Amino acid sequence: MVSPTDDIKQVKEASKDNLLAMQNVVGVGVGYQTKGGEQTGNYAIVVMVTRKLPLPALAPNAILPKNVDGVTIDVIEVGELRALQARTDRWRPAPGGISIGHYKITAGTFGAIVRDKKSGDRLILSNNHVIANSNDADPGDQVLQPGPIDGGSPDVDTIAHLDRFCPIEFATEPGICDIADTYASLGNAVAGLLGSKHRVNTQQSDPQAVNLVDAALAKPINDSDVLDEILEIGNIEGSEEGLLGMSIRKSGRTTSFTTSQINLINATVDVNYGSDRTARFENQFVSGPMSQGGDSGSLLVAGDSQHAVGLLFAGSNQSTIFNPIQAVLDCLEVNI
């Protein structure tokens, strides 16, 4: 029995070389024509392009025909097709959604590329605790891709240097114990003589310390080593405010592509950073479970657009917490 697609397959085979030779085209197949995001049930030769562009933006020789030998030509955007790699591998050029980390931590996620408001420089966005070692880093420190726990080495895998970060105010303040302060001062004096940058501070609880974001930037060593796109999401085209019930998605080092919805807005949360350090965050978004350790730094994107909504930084088996994207952009003085 002859399939109704057999004739279309023959037309596709006869025309594929000419179609694939056209600018922006990366694939050709037989499928259903799509209109308004829904399949029509009508067969078509489907041309895959890296990016759909308006006709005025295309050169005359890059405009696809409407049909070939009477068969409709349909176009879908698929991005750049690559051999798949693990998100914990070394990537060059590196997209968002993969392993990254300060050379002294384990690993988190390369969130996205943003641009400095003043210089226009392309910068890597992630969390403070991912690429700035929870405040314990200095500008210029090495940022590795992949992160150290994934095999990243400062000798061969440094993709960027720490540029700046929004400090995290932990629930601590300078101590008031004279004896403890004396021992700390003696220890710091010895550290100075030995050339160490590390210093000891005595601390006590300060429940008034609050934060809005856990965010940091790294400047790529080579601009060509990083991509604007995020794995399985694509290029970001701006930002928008997160709303209660909004569908969201993310692309991260550990759990890859996941989706959820915003269950809480204007949330106040206490986040455990380990080593007996807790930080309080105000005006946060809370979604359902969509992350695990190593996904910190992932960009949260609206489910129905290419707009950034937030920056993932904490979670549990039941919930994921993320900063509103506008607070991140304002603190770091960047655009997305």
The domains of the chain, with CATH numbers, are: 6-77 (3.30.300), 94-168+206-325+331-335 (2.40.10.10), 175-204 (no CATH)
Q: What pLDDT is recorded for position 161?
A: 99
Choice between 196 and 163, residue whose per-residue pLDDT is larger = 163
pLDDT at 70 > cutoff 80:
yes
Distance separating alpha carbons of residues 159 and 144, to the nearest angstrom: 6
* Interval 130-157: pLDDT, tens: 999 999 999 999 999 999 999 999 999 9
DSSP letters for 170-193: -SEEE---HHHHHHHHHHHHHHHH
Phi, psi of 187 (to 5 degrees): -65, -40
Q: What pLDDT is recorded for position 78?
A: 82
Tokens (6 digits) for 174: 């300078």
Q: What pLDDT is recorded for position 178?
A: 53
Q: Lowest mean pLDDT of 42-46, 118-122, 305-309, name the range.
A: 42-46
What's the residue count for the chain?
336
